[in-house]
Amino acid sequence: MLESVLQKAVISYLRRLQNLGAPILGFHIPNAGRRSRRTGAQLKREGLLPGAPDLAVLLPRGRVVWIELKSGSGRQSSSQRDVQSILEAMGHDYCIVRADSSADAVAIVAAIVEPLLEHTS
């Protein structure tokens, strides 16, 4: 299964929570994709960070959960591991969500964020 399919399902789930009134904001960090060398250089100057997680999930009280989505056979790149180390050293939550289906990805993300939402009431 393509990671983009997993990502669409997770974003849909996060938006559903937000529409139901949950204090949550999830968004994608568009770091992947084919680009010309010129466009790639321009994006790096603008702050593109190789290895940045796929999703950021913002919660109350300044809590952020960073999510890297991987299909069952997907592996982290070295730049992704480097960014994970930096974020964890800063005290951020970083989760690698490995799933073979959209339903599995959503269930895993739900298990991560819903308990955190319960602690914000």
The topology under which CATH files domain 3-118 is Trna Endonuclease; Chain: A, domain 1 (3.40.1350)
Sign of the alpha-carbon dihedral angle for 89, 30, 13, 100? negative
pLDDT tens for each residue of the chain, 121 residues long? 788 999 999 999 999 999 999 999 999 987 766 778 888 788 788 888 889 999 999 999 999 999 999 998 889 999 999 999 999 999 999 999 999 999 999 999 999 999 999 866 5
Helix runs in the chain, H state only: 3-19, 37-45, 78-89, 102-118
The pLDDT value recorded for residue 30 is: 79
Model pTM?
0.88
